[in-house]
A = this chain, B = another copy of it.
Amino acid sequence: MSEHRPTSPWTVEPPLPGSYRAIAKLGKPDDIKLPSDRYVSLLKRELGLEDAFFAKPPQDGNKPVRIDGGNALGKDVIRAVAAIVGEENVQCDAYNRIKYSHGKIQEEIFNLKRGIIHEITGAAVHPRHAEDVGRIVALCSRRKIPVYAYGGGSSVNKGFLPERAGITLVLGTHMNRVLEINERNHTCRVQAGCMGPDLERALNGAPELFGTTLRFTCGHFPQSFELSSVGGWVLTLGSGQASTYYGDAANLVLSMEAVTPTGIIRTSDYPSTATGPRVMDMMKGSEGAFGILTELTIRIFRYMPENRKYFGFLFPDWCSAVGATREISQGEFGLPAVLRISDAEETDHAFQMYPVPSAVEFILKARGCRPGRRCLSVGTVEGDLDFATLVRKKVRRIARHFGGVNVTGRAAREWEKDRYRSFLIAEAMTDYDILLDTVETPVRWDNIHEIHEKVHRFADSVPGTMCISHASHFYPSGTNLYFIFGIRGGVKEYTAFRNGLIDAMVQAGGSPSHHHGVGRLMAPWIERFLGSTEMEAIRSIKRHFDPDNIMNPGHPFGPATQKKGKGQRR
C-alpha cells in the first residue's frame, strides 16, 4: 500500500523503481494518462459508483517486490546458462523474475499492485543471438527445463506465464535489431525481439540508416505497437490497426528462423512456392510452444505519409454502418488502411467524452443520427496518392449511400493521436476496484449482428458493468468485433464477467480471439472452437518440435496437465 496520500485521486508520479507498480506499468515509467473528468463521470454513471468512490486511497503497489521461498531452478542450471550467455545476461533477482513472468492482462496488473503473484520464472535470460538461443534450448532439452519466451511482454492472455520454474528468454534486450533492408525486394530482415517503434524508425529512416533510395513502413500498427515485438506479432497472429489495407501480421512474413528442440528452421523467402505445406505457416500462431522465433524476413511498404487522408462518418445506426463497411470491403476498388465502426454505445461514449456544440447536434439529429442509435466510423486511406484519393472518394460515396453524414477527418486524426495510449487510462482504474479490459472475435457478415447482440445481451444482464464495441479489421467476408468492458470489483468479479463475455462470443459462433491469441486464458474455449481433430493436429506438431514439452509448458497447445505446485516438473 502506498505511503503517501495523493492530492489527486490518481497516482501521478512514475512508479517507485523496484516496486510492483513498476512491473505493472504499461509503457515508459513517466508515460501516465489520467482519466478526464468527463470519463470519470461516465464511468460513475455506467458502473453505478458512489460520488466519493475515487476519494479512497488508491492501491498503487508502490511497494518493493519480494519473493517468499527459494528458486526451484537449480544453481547448476543457472551456472550452465550463464556459461552460455555470460553472467551479465542472467537475472535471478526478485524484480526481474517477477517482471518477466507477467504480461499485461488486467487481472495481472490488478494483482501485482496488491502484491499478489502466482508462478514465477527461475531466471530471466537475455540471449545475445540465435546461437545462444540454440545452445540454451539444447541445454534445456537435455535437462528437461521449461523455456518461456518474452518479447514485448504485452500479452493479454497469459501467453508466457511460467507455470513451472524454468527460464524465460528475453528477446528484446539484444536480439532487437533490423539486420537488412532489401530495397529491391521491398523486404526487411529483422530479429524477433525488435520492438515496433524501433522497426518503424529503421524503415522510415532507411536512406540515412541503410543507404536506400526509398523510405519504408512496416504497415503493422497494433494498439500494443510500442509494447510489442515483431516476433510476438507473428507468434500470436496479431492484427494492426491498418490491417484492412496492409494485412494481418501473419500475411506480412516471408520467411523465418526458429530454434526448436528438434532443430533449427530456416524457411525460404519466396512469396509463393508450391513445395508442400509451409512449415513457416505452422509456426505462425504457435505462441512459443513449438520453439523460439529468432529472425524474420517481412514485407515492407513504401512510406508515403504525405498521401494519408482521413475520413469520418456518422451513420444513423449499426446496420447502416455495417452495410457501408461491407460494401467498402467487397467493392474491388482497393481498401482503406484504417477502417473502424463504433456501435451505438461506443459512439455515445465518444460524444459524452467529446461533446459537440448544440448547433451541430441539431444538424446531426435532423439528418437521422440520434443518440443511442447513431454509429461513428473513422478511417484513413494510404498508398499511392491517386489510389488513396480514389479509395476515399469511393468510401465517401458508399457512406452517403448508406445514410452516413460526413463528419470530416477530424475524429480520425484525434483517434490516431491517442491510438497507442488510450488504454493507459485502465492503469489508473486498477488502482481502485475497477477493471477495464477487452475481448474480441472474428465475425462473418452473416453473423456479425447475432454475435454483437448476444454478447451485449449477456453484458446487459450483469449489473454494474459496461460494454461497448467496435469493428476495426475488415476483410471481404467479414470483420472483427472488439468489446471493451468494465466492471467494479476484484479479480473474481472481473473473471466471471470476462469469461461470460467469451462464452457468449463463442456460443454465438465466434472464435475466442481475432488477434489477441490463445495463451492460458483461452484454454477452456480453444478445443471447443477448433474441435478435437484440429486440436490434436496442433498438438502433434507440438510433439514433433518439442517432444519433452519444454517450450512454454502450461500452454494449451501442449499436453493437458494438472495444476501443480511451484517449480514442480513433469
Contacts and interface: CB of A to CB of B under 8 A. Distances in A.
Given A384-B331, A540-B541, A541-B540, A185 B444 contact: yes
Given A262-B536, A541-B540, A526 B279 contact: no
A200 to B, nearest CB: 17
A513 B237 CA distance: 28
A269 interface: yes
A257 to B, nearest CB: 11
Contacts of A518: 274-276
Interface in A257-305: 260, 262-279, 281-287, 299, 301-302, 304
A516 interface: yes
A469 interface: no
Interface stretch (A97-105, A309-317, A473-481): A473-481
A352 interface: no
A96 B557 CA distance: 45
Contact of A476 (B271, B287, B540): B271
Contact of A332 (B332, B384, B511): B384
27 contacts: A184-B326, A185-B444, A185-B445, A185-B476, A238-B274, A260-B533, A263-B536, A265-B537, A268-B530, A269-B444, A269-B477, A270-B442, A271-B476, A272-B514, A273-B442, A276-B526, A277-B284, A278-B281, A279-B534, A279-B537, A302-B331, A304-B332, A386-B394, A537-B544, A537-B545, A540-B541, A541-B544
Nearest to A387: B333
B473 A522 contact: no
Nearest to A265: B533
Interface in A366-399: 382-384, 386-387, 390, 393-394
Nearest to A297: B477
Contact of A273 (B386, B387, B514, B541): B514
Nearest to A533: B263
Contact of A383 (B254, B333, B543): B333
B513 A275 contact: yes
Interface of A: 182, 184-187, 236-239, 248, 250, 254, 260, 262-279, 281-287, 299, 301-302, 304, 326, 330-334, 382-384, 386-387, 390, 393-394, 442-446, 473, 475-478, 480, 511-518, 522, 526, 529-534, 536-538, 540-541, 543-545, 557
Contact of A262 (B281, B382, B533): B533
B529 A268 contact: yes
Q: Of residues A187, A277, A281, A446, which shows the largest number of chain B Cβ atoms within 10 Å of its Cβ?
A: A277
